[in-house]
Chains A and B, each alone.
Chain A
Amino acid sequence: MSDKTTTTQSADAPLFREFEHTGDRGIELTAPTRVELFRRAVVALASLLVEVAGAAATEQRLIVVEAENDADLMHDLLTELLQIFMVEGFIWCDASVEEADRALRVTVHGEPFDPTRHAFHGEIKAVTYHQLTVEKSPDGWRARIILDV
């Protein structure tokens, strides 16, 4: 399995590793903590949609999601963000995450999407449940996500 790492303006460490999936797009993330894992996933999603290096943090949106397990939380959070990008035309370059029991409060920082300034990489149709995992690892936390493109 080959891999590629991506960094963004707001993260010094590699944000995610892309893994081979024939038709769609697979990403794998690691982080020292659960909160940081979700934060990285949020920023990774933005960087898959557009060139986030050109985005400024002039506005913010708050998302609250609640689910029975971490895989569902990841699915619901990223799906909510896809909706914000697709329907509201808002793109973010960073995020802050707070956890509370089964819920996550996520604030994303960004600005209205402008295709002339934020190079668009292509649509993401959905966050699939196929082989979706969010788990504690010996070094921290790890997630594996397949996106339908």
Chain B
Amino acid sequence: MELVKLSDYLWEIPKTGAMLVPGRVYASAKMIDDMREDPALTQVANVACLPGIVGYSLAMPDIHWGYGFPIGGVAAVDGDEGVISPGGVGYDINCGVRLARTHLPFSFVESRIDRLADALFAKIPAGIGSSGAIPGLSIDQLKEVVSEGAQWALRNGYATKRDLEHTEEGGRLAGADPDRVSERAYQRGAKQLGTLGSGNHFLELGRVDEIYDSRLADALGLEVGHVTVMIHSGSRGLGHQTCDDYLKVVGSAMARYEIALPDRQLAAVPISSPEGRAYLGAMAAAANFAWCNRQVMMHLAEQALLETLAIAPRELSFALVYDVCHNIAKFEEHSVAGHRRRVCVHRKGATRAFGPGHPALPEALRPLGQPVLIPGDMGRYSFVLVGRETAMRETFGSSCHGAGRLMSRMKAKKEAGGRDLNAELKRRGVTVRAHSRAGIAEEMPYAYKDVADVVEVMEAAGITRRVARLKPFAVIKG
């Protein structure tokens, strides 16, 4: 794969063959060396073939091999003439991250970490073979959830108005069409509202261990030493099945629109086609399920903290910092070659990172730029960033979404061998509760890149600014 260096942190894949635009990869020289043999770069070039794509097929520094799109890929297509690709959103529609802060100093909980981990593990189900805090919902109830998103949680006592203000899109993506979600998808979601899932999903207790910008940290309520709660999860089986349903619909409709793409998993149809509109309605519905899911889990986590520590809500002072999604397609206005255009931005393992002053941000956060939450591996640290103006000019207001895997799951398990992984993490100051050993083995710190390197590239490229670093001390895995 030919790569042209544009700066220390930006590389271009020249337009060749069926590519409609060049590819651009944000990465350090070392990262580029590591990824030269990875199929992810070919996937960046494949995405550049999507009809209607504008600007560049973009890759963030946490890019790795996905299915169809690379994980860490961003593609904006013309909002009217372009195509929508379910694979460009992924199976876990609106997989995302939320962060809550408390006013509890770490010293207050230090002697009770095991009890806290047990309480969270008991309160927040993984979703398979466990009964959720919310009993199985009927299809009619699920239709309310997918129409209302986090507003359903507010209406049912799992959220505050402030929570919704601090959630991307207010926790409800417009255009959701509950009738476009299949019965099979509803069946898979029926018992999964308020459940974490497995794989790389987690709930993590951490503490703020470094502040990079005190003005921004103050504005977000982050103080050194204070306890935080981070949740990474998505739309669960309802979203997975929705993606699968529409890959089939879109895949068989493509020929009618004379669309041919290098990878079947990239299947796409015109946004304006009946199939495209149906997918967008179903995708928004699944996205709303995900926001409601994360909101319910955060409420359960707050309850677990209050009960275990036997303190009053005022002492805990639990508040959502922000909630971001990193698997989505959204209609936004961006400047393309000097002209404002309505585009549909696919973010597959990439986070929206709007700069200061953007009208989509709530009033309280608008002067700061959008908070961007970047979890690292469970042994190191995670970052809170904010979006900058450069992101609006260069990446359709997008940034990275995590550390990015260094090792396959298979290699990570092999590496784990007969090791006592819980003890190893404990030595790093992290208490883990998980439903399976494999769940820990595949997610061990050595399986991931150092998220600090990923974040540094985004900062050096002017896309995001670091606000704070969080260090985990208890992790719940599905």
- Assess the A126–B65 pair: CB atoms within 8 A: no
State the Cβ distance, B21 to closest chain A Cβ, in Å.
22
- Assess the A89–B478 pair: CB atoms within 8 A: no
A121 interface hit (Cβ, 8 Å)? yes
Residue in A4, A83, A86, A122 with the greatest tally of chain B CB atoms within 10 Å: A122
B55 interface hit (Cβ, 8 Å)? no
For A126, give its contact among B40, B64, B66, B244 (CB under 8 Å): B244
Given the known inter-chain contacts A4-B414, A89-B129, please indicate yes or no for A22 contacting B408, CB distance below 8 A: yes
A contact residues around B66 at 8 Å (CB): 23-24, 130
Residue of B nearest to A71 (CB): B264
B91 interface hit (Cβ, 8 Å)? yes
B contact residues around A114 at 8 Å (CB): 129
- Assess the B38–A22 pair: CB atoms within 8 A: yes
Binary B-proximity of A14-34 (CB < 8 A = 1, otherwise 0)? 000011111111000000000
Residue of B nearest to A76 (CB): B248
A149 interface hit (Cβ, 8 Å)? yes
- Assess the B188–A122 pair: CB atoms within 8 A: no
- Assess the B65–A2 pair: CB atoms within 8 A: no
Given the known inter-chain contacts A87-B187, A129-B251, please indicate yes or no for A21 contacting B91, CB distance below 8 A: no
Given the known inter-chain contacts A87-B187, A113-B129, A115-B128, please indicate yes or no for A129 contacting B409, CB distance below 8 A: no
B contact residues around A148 at 8 Å (CB): 67, 90-92, 240
For B198, give its contact among A23, A24, A123 (CB under 8 Å): A123
B contact residues around A22 at 8 Å (CB): 38, 40, 64-65, 405, 407-408
B contact residues around A119 at 8 Å (CB): 436
B68 interface hit (Cβ, 8 Å)? yes
A8 interface hit (Cβ, 8 Å)? no
B contact residues around A79 at 8 Å (CB): 244
A18 to B409 alpha-carbon distance, docked (Å): 10
A126 to B95 alpha-carbon distance, docked (Å): 15
- Assess the A126–B243 pair: CB atoms within 8 A: yes
- Assess the A23–B64 pair: CB atoms within 8 A: yes
Interface residues in A94-134 by Cβ distance below 8 A to B read: 113-115, 119-123, 125-130, 132
B278 interface hit (Cβ, 8 Å)? no
A43 interface hit (Cβ, 8 Å)? no
- Assess the A123–B414 pair: CB atoms within 8 A: no
A67 to B188 alpha-carbon distance, docked (Å): 23
A121 to B439 alpha-carbon distance, docked (Å): 7
Given the known inter-chain contacts A115-B435, A130-B265, please indicate yes or no for A123 contacting B64, CB distance below 8 A: no
- Assess the B67–A128 pair: CB atoms within 8 A: yes
Binary A-proximity of B54-78 (CB < 8 A = 1, otherwise 0)? 0000000000111110010000000
For B438, give its contact among A2, A122, A132 (CB under 8 Å): A122
- Assess the A83–B265 pair: CB atoms within 8 A: no
Binary A-proximity of B40-51 (CB < 8 A = 1, otherwise 0)? 100000000000
B199 interface hit (Cβ, 8 Å)? yes
For A123, give its contact among B67, B68, B199 (CB under 8 Å): B199
Binary A-proximity of B78-90 (CB < 8 A = 1, otherwise 0)? 0000000000001
B130 interface hit (Cβ, 8 Å)? yes
B contact residues around A123 at 8 Å (CB): 127-128, 197-199, 478
For B188, give its contact among A4, A25, A86, A130 (CB under 8 Å): A86
- Assess the A18–B264 pair: CB atoms within 8 A: no
B263 interface hit (Cβ, 8 Å)? yes
A129 to B248 alpha-carbon distance, docked (Å): 10
What are 17 residue pairs bridging A and B, where the CB atoms are less than 8 Å apart in the complex?
A19-B410, A20-B411, A21-B410, A22-B65, A24-B67, A83-B184, A113-B129, A115-B129, A115-B435, A122-B435, A122-B442, A128-B67, A128-B265, A129-B67, A129-B251, A129-B265, A130-B66
9 closest A-B pairs by beta carbon, nearest first, are A130-B67, A115-B129, A122-B198, A130-B265, A128-B67, A125-B240, A22-B65, A123-B198, A22-B64
A interface, CB within 8 angstroms of B? 2, 4, 18-25, 79, 83, 86-87, 89, 113-115, 119-123, 125-130, 132, 146, 148-149
